[in-house]
Amino acid sequence: MKKYSGGCHCGAIRFEMETDLKKAVRCNCSLCRKKGALMHRVKPEQFKILQGENDLVLYQFNTHIAKHFFCRRCGIYTHHHPRSAPDLIAVNLNCLDDDVDESGLEIICFDGKKWDTTTLQKINECCEPSAVKKSDAFAEWDNPKDAEYDKL
């Protein structure tokens, strides 16, 4: 495993993660499409906030299972706890200090608009199966308000 350092644009948030960076996820849900992040999932013990924890702002919507964190100063999305695996952390690879060569990654495209549960297993393979708890996170995306978010 390799250690990676990163942070937000203004430098208020600093973090590190230790992982084998082989896979990444792109999602097209109403939020991910707008933030344009390339994400990599790790277990909590592989991720550490080094500075700026008080500068992180939490954003939640719809089911309120996922927890998305942004810098309160510059607005950059750094990481989140995914709805499909709330015990894991998805790190925004665009926040790493060193550029990530996407050509060397297996990029999994997740259809978050339709909540494609068949792809979730492949996404969660980055971690041991015991790290992913089955919950109502795997339920269908049935909130009609989601369509309203896409119109904003």
For each of the chain's 152 residues, which pLDDT tens digit applies? 999 999 999 999 999 999 999 999 998 888 999 999 999 999 999 999 999 999 999 999 989 999 999 999 999 999 999 988 899 999 999 999 999 999 999 998 888 888 767 676 666 665 544 444 444 444 444 444 444 434 43
Q: What is the pTM of this model?
A: 0.80
Under a CB-based contact definition with an 8 Å cutoff, are residues 96 and 6 in contact? Answer: yes
CA within 13 Å, CB half, 100: 23
Domain spans, the chain: 2-140
* CATH topology classification for 2-140: 2.170.150
Amino acid found at 149 = Y
Q: Identify the three-state secondary structure at position 9.
A: coil
